[in-house]
Structure 1
Amino acid sequence: MLPQEIIRRKRDGKPLTADEISTFVAGMTSGKVTEGQVAALAMAVFFKGMSREEAVALTTAMRDSGETLDWSDLPGPVTDKHSTGGVGDNVSLMLAPIVAACGAYVPMISGRGLGHTGGTLDKMDAIPGYVSQPDNALFRKAVRTTGCAIIGQTAALAPADKRFYAIRDVTATVESVPLITASILSKKLAAGLESLVLDVKVGNGAFMQRGRDATELATSLVEVANGAGTRTSALITGMNEPLASAAGNAVEVSNAVDFLSGRRRDRRLTEVTLALAAEMLIATGIAGSNKEALSRATEVLDSGRAAEAFGRMVAILGGPKDFMERPLTYLPKAPVELAVTCDRKGFVTGIATRDIGVAVVALGGGRSAPEDLIDHAVGITGLLPVGAEAVRGEPLAIIHARSKADAEKAATVIKAAYTLGPSRPATQKAVVRRISPAA
């Protein structure tokens, strides 16, 4: 079966068989299929699309292109969550230990940040000693012992996706729903999950800024994942403002520790975290209803059991044993702090969220290219949410920077990102919509 004939069929709008797709993916993994042929198929799919059956076949072929994990020796259900990315989205740091404390196992394989969105793995790397890419033995030990482990993807998982994405990235074919779907799911499903919950962001700080686009992607992800044999649902959540009041790496870890310990919990962050936890507990069968699931998640959070699970995870993966008790002792701190003060009073009616994320990248807290180094100490804290009352002379946010010049540049961006009005806007729900397998 020649690669060019497979490309020709898709170019002409004909559906590909599962055998044709698996043959092409095998050639892509082995190198027998050339870069030009991969690019040609990507462009053909970009213009002609894929049916659900084709997307399932592509996802499973890429899933099976490398190592797949098996957790059948664990005494409880195995589940995970994936987010399409946003600003101030540190949900994973609280969600994994909450669900683990309820009795599930969460082998959370996360990614690094690129563009204006932060990466969970970069946040975990802000913790001194934490091994974010452990060997398989330590990964398994952490999951079995603590119930959760937040680590990075190894090269052994879904290697076909790594090559496919690199070619799509330089051929203007990233924005294809079936290809995005297969890319996300092939990595997640290779982790051996029994269930998966997706957090698809929508708004001015998300990759999907329009509701219909977010719904299309969420529906595709849910239908393809279920078609591949993994019970999956999705929540569409709002990203028209930062989810947490902090954006950066160490500052978001500190925010997560405050959340788990009960010292401070941002409203929208709480709403999204508990909603996702409830989805995961229902999917695993630990809870039979949304009400029961929310009750169980809230109980382990308020009792401190989730905080204990996070602390054990950090310790077993090489971080400080007393991290939860003394996080500020260990987290890196930027030398310059600058308050971005408000020049008039009013209510926050809007935030250009993507600009906040770009400001963090400009400070050194994110990447413009995959090989860029991260400054884990820099970031922004105290971000006023939409609906908050702004007082003249009081901070809209606080910049944590490496230099005064960097801080002043970021302050200009942050001030311009905020829109103030004379009256408080209506409160918007953080969870916009649920996509179930039957939707």
Structure 2
Amino acid sequence: MEARSILAKLRHDLPLSVDELTWVAGALADQTLSAAQAGAFAMGVCRNGLDQAGRVALTQAMCASGQVLKWDLDKPVLDKHSTGGVGDCVSLVLAPALAACGAYVPMISGRGLGHTGGTLDKLEAIPGVNVMLDEARLRGVVGQVGCAIVGATGDIAPADKRLYAVRDVTATVDSLDLITASILSKKLAAGLEGLVLDVKVGSGAFMKDVEAARALAQALVSTANAAGCPTRAIISDMSQPLVPSLGNALEVAEVMRVLRGEKTGAMVELCGALGGVLLAGAGLAKGADAGAAQIKAAIADGRAAERFGAMIAALGGPVHFVENWQRFLPEATVMREVTAQKSGIVQAIDAEALGLAVVALGGGRTVESDPVDPAVGLSDVVRLGARVEKGQPLAVVHASRPVQADQAAATVRSAISLGEKAGTLPTLIVEHIS
């Protein structure tokens, strides 16, 4: 086995064997594969694809490139993963809600990728939070709190850690095969007994149409089940940001308003749908609808907020964060309303463009080493179907410098389409894949 022959096969659209894909995963993990070769591999897979056997082989090999956790707990070990969207902070609500409903949730998450925000970046907007735990500390937090949202250490799927960073800077983020292997290698390594996948579709997702989203959901579900992890998926709408704020600290603020019962809407509905599937599959609820009701109740009565606060404290954050969250989250130095230049009804939102605007503000990365400013982003983004009069705000820009605010404001105006007639509003839950 050597890289050049494998890359040559990829270039000529020839299938790779299980042994070759296993070798690549090991070479990614132990640095035998150079950065250039890793990028070429990602581009080759993105262009030519893998078959189902290859997808399973790459996923299992990337999982086996590091440590695979095993749990001895009295309740099911469950998790959720999203394929990435804009204003998608579901994990921060759902993980503690699941813990409040009797599950253990060791949620290994990622950082921002392309135009989408990263769960770890959002958590790190909270002062003192450390998401990089060793195994002993992870086990301690999960056992004590019921949930821990953390990053993959060097021992968990190290092959994916390298490939994940390469994908972000080589325009290979939207590969069905690489998304599947990346997500599932970390999830399988977490030793899960049940998994639900939130596959996004729409302008703010990597998959822009339902057919592509369905193909990804089916690939994820079939690959995970073939690897021994009971898995279902929900395709959910991302034709607009899930919450009206984009940016790390701003999305944490949205999470706190939901957990404290100040806001409901799409976030709670999606948490209920995803959590209901998990609780029913694990025998913790009599059906998905009953499970959804349990999740919503845990959010409404404050039990999820209590678990979230305990998790933040266990990760090194403020002990009383839930009670005093406004004190701790950073704020941008420049805030600017983006007003509508004409009256009309919001007919379409280019959510990807909004996500890239946040990256340009410093809220995401264009290269792996970029620092992230947790305070910048967009808030109060208008919703599809809303009536906006000339001069009324479309969004509020949070920036560190006036010139960045000007650029973001121009992007917001071009990303939000106004018209005379109201269109059909999208359905939040598009499809279930089992």
Per the normalisation by structure 1, the TM-score is 0.91
Say if 1:148 and 1:7 are closer, same or farther in 2 by CA, change over 3 A.
same
1:343 to 327, 341, 344: 341
Give the equivalent residue in structure 2 for 1:144.
Answer: 143
Say if 1:326 and 1:38 are closer, same or farther in 2 by CA, change over 3 A.
closer
Say if 1:359 and 1:35 are closer, same or farther in 2 by CA, change over 3 A.
closer
Say if 1:36 and 1:249 are closer, same or farther in 2 by CA, change over 3 A.
closer
Say if 1:48 and 1:204 are closer, same or farther in 2 by CA, change over 3 A.
closer
Give the equivalent residue in structure 2 for 1:213.
Answer: 212
Shift of 1:66: 0.7
Q: 1:375 and 1:362 mapped to 2: Cα distance?
A: 11
Give the equivalent residue in structure 2 for 1:276.
Answer: 274
Contact 1:114 1:369 in 2 (8 A): no
Give the equivalent residue in structure 2 for 1:65.
Answer: 65
Q: 2:43 and 2:407 mapped to 1: Cα distance?
A: 39
Q: 1:277 and 1:209 mapped to 2: Cα distance?
A: 24
Shift of 1:16: 5.3
Contact 2:168 2:368 in 1 (8 A): no
Quick check: 1:373 aligned with 2:371?
yes
Quick check: 1:242 aligned with 2:245?
no
Deviations 1:149-198 (A, max 9, x none): 11111121111223445566677765542233112211221111111111
Shift of 1:399: 1.5
Gaps spanning 5+ residues in structure 2: where? none
Contact 1:138 1:317 in 2 (8 A): no
Shift of 1:4: 6.7
Deviations 1:312-350 (A, max 9, x none): 111111111111111111111112221222233322111
Give the equivalent residue in structure 2 for 1:177.
Answer: 176
RMSD value over aligned CA atoms?
Answer: 2.5
Contact 2:114 2:168 in 1 (8 A): no
Gaps spanning 5+ residues in structure 1: where? none
Contact 1:114 1:368 in 2 (8 A): no
Give the equivalent residue in structure 1 for 2:317.
Answer: 319
Give the equivalent residue in structure 2 for 1:103.
Answer: 102
Contact 2:239 2:426 in 1 (8 A): no
Say if 1:33 and 1:244 are closer, same or farther in 2 by CA, change over 3 A.
closer
Which AA in structure 2 matches 1:62? M
Q: 2:180 and 2:151 mapped to 1: Cα distance?
A: 19
Say if 1:4 and 1:363 are closer, same or farther in 2 by CA, change over 3 A.
closer
Contact 1:401 1:407 in 2 (8 A): yes
Say if 1:26 and 1:122 are closer, same or farther in 2 by CA, change over 3 A.
closer
Q: 1:292 and 1:137 mapped to 2: Cα distance?
A: 34
Shift of 1:36: 7.2
Shift of 1:271: 2.4
Deviations 1:59-109 (A, max 9, x none): 1111011111122x2211111111111111111110111111100011111
Quick check: 1:332 aligned with 2:330?
yes
Per the normalisation by structure 2, the TM-score is 0.92
Contact 1:109 1:188 in 2 (8 A): yes
Give the equivalent residue in structure 1 for 2:74.
Answer: 75
Which AA in structure 2 matches 1:344? K
Contact 1:87 1:116 in 2 (8 A): yes
Identity score, percent? 48
Classify the secondary structure of the residue corresponding to 1:247: coil
1:243-262 paired onto structure 2 within 5 Å: 243-262=242-261
Contact 1:67 1:190 in 2 (8 A): yes
